[in-house]
Amino acid sequence: MNNKPKCVGVLTAGGDSPGLNAALRGLGKTAMGVYGMQVIGFRDGFRGLMENRTVHLEDATLSGILTTGGTILGTSRDKPNRMPIGGKLMDMTDVMVDTYHKHLLDVLVCMGGGGTQKNAFLLAKKGLNIITLPKTIDNDVAMTDVTFGFDTALGIATDAIDRLHSTAHSHHRIIIVEVMGHNAGWLALGAGIAGGADVILIPEIPYQVEIIAEAIRKRSREGKNFSIVAVSEGAMSCEEYRIRKALEEKLAAAGSKSAKKEIESKLQELETQRTGHAFVLAQQLEMMTNLEARVTILGYLQRGGTPSAADRLLATRLGTAAVELIQQGVSGVMLAVRGDRVEPIPLEEVVGKRKLVPLDHPWVQSARNVGVCLGD
């Protein structure tokens, strides 16, 4: 029987997110303190794994990072199979496999969102032992109730909406608050409800500008001369949605590579045209309501700062639970939150999926019940 202590590799990938350091601390302290494992961190996500840039995580390294935002390992959005090298996109998966074996790793823990789950799965298919933890402020990773990072971002976005109420009321303005969420509307929906927004626009529900304008005019007729509009960065009008859907259907039916490339180019162009859509919406609403409109884009503010107590707790639970699985020899899974439990879910069940806001979700129904306009 091999009683040699296990060697664990860990990296953080994708966008930075509150709670990453708490997860690293939970993983590292449990691995070293309880099981005597060695823990090697790879800097800047999958690129650090490819370039073999490491840091040995020790108790002193992990001390004092629980409340710190960001990630002490650094991060990047590089993909193993499409990594920029010398001006070209190259498949560097085999190089990462070599790094894994060079350090005699027993397992590699990857912390990240949907893209990280997919990239980690590529390495798992190469025969590496992989465990992933779900983090993203968007809360859109499939098969888990919640991701760490979401609660902190939700609190930041809610606080911003709270603060904007006073200036909206004082100047009788429409304030449009753009919240992160390119494909999923969890953040805008949750913050909009908690912050008392009058209009909430999310990617899952295409909107009509006239319906929004009428909701604001109705408030004016009732003596409420201001409105707060919380909008996901990925929210789109019914017309934009129709065009995108038609292009996606054409892409799915396209036979040749050239045809697919042309359609993908049109989709990218459509996405580029949507840059600054909150300002376009502001201009439209000004014309239709005769009220001044101002835009506040929260952007990276939602990612930064001290993680909330809930995110610290969740990240610590996931980090410690990952070590228990490592000790048991389990791999090829993502640790998912299911109610009060943490469960391992096979990576193949997670990859390629995204958790969107269901149209019948209780949050959607609650928003409608309190009179929030969802643009439809």
List, for residues 196-215, the tens digit of each pLDDT value: 999 999 999 999 999 999 99
Burial class (CB in 10 A: 0-12, 13-18, 19+), 188: buried
> What residue type is 6 in one-letter code?
K
Q: Please, what are the domains in the chain?
A: 7-148+307-339 (3.40.50.450), 152-236+274-303+359-369 (3.40.50.460)
The per-residue pLDDT for 249 is 81
Burial class (CB in 10 A: 0-12, 13-18, 19+), 371: exposed
Give the number of other CB atoms < 10 A from CB of residue 59: 11
- Contact (CB, 8 A) for 134 and 344: no
b or e along 17-31 (b: 16 or more beta carbons within 10 Å of the residue's beta carbon)? bbbbbbbbbbbbbbb
Residue 283 pLDDT > 60, yes or no?
A: yes
| Model pTM above 0.75 | yes
Residue 355 CA to residue 160 CA, distance in Å, equals: 25
Strand partners, 373: 199
- Contact (CB, 8 A) for 231 and 179: yes
Residue 112 pLDDT > 70, yes or no?
A: yes
Tell me the H-state helices in the chain: 20-35, 45-51, 59-62, 93-102, 114-124, 150-171, 186-195, 209-221, 238-253, 257-273, 277-289, 309-328, 362-369
CA nearest 231: which of 196, 208, 202? 202
Q: What is the mean pLDDT of the chain?
A: 93
Residue 54 CA to residue 272 CA, distance in Å, equals: 37
Q: How confident is the model at residue 232 (pLDDT cuts 50, 70, 90)?
A: very high
pLDDT digits (tens, 9 = 90+) for 303-335: 888 999 999 999 999 999 999 999 999 999 999
Residue 3 pLDDT > 80, yes or no?
A: no
Residue 186 CA to residue 358 CA, distance in Å, equals: 10
Residue 187 CA to residue 93 CA, distance in Å, equals: 33
Residue 41 pLDDT > 70, yes or no?
A: yes
Burial class (CB in 10 A: 0-12, 13-18, 19+), 159: middle
Residue 4 CA to residue 177 CA, distance in Å, equals: 54
Q: How confident is the model at residue 2 (pLDDT cuts 50, 70, 90)?
A: low
Please list the active-site residues.
Answer: 138
Residue 158 CA to residue 251 CA, distance in Å, equals: 38
The per-residue pLDDT for 9 is 97
133/69: higher pLDDT: 133
- Contact (CB, 8 A) for 168 and 198: no
Share of the chain above pLDDT 90, in %: 78
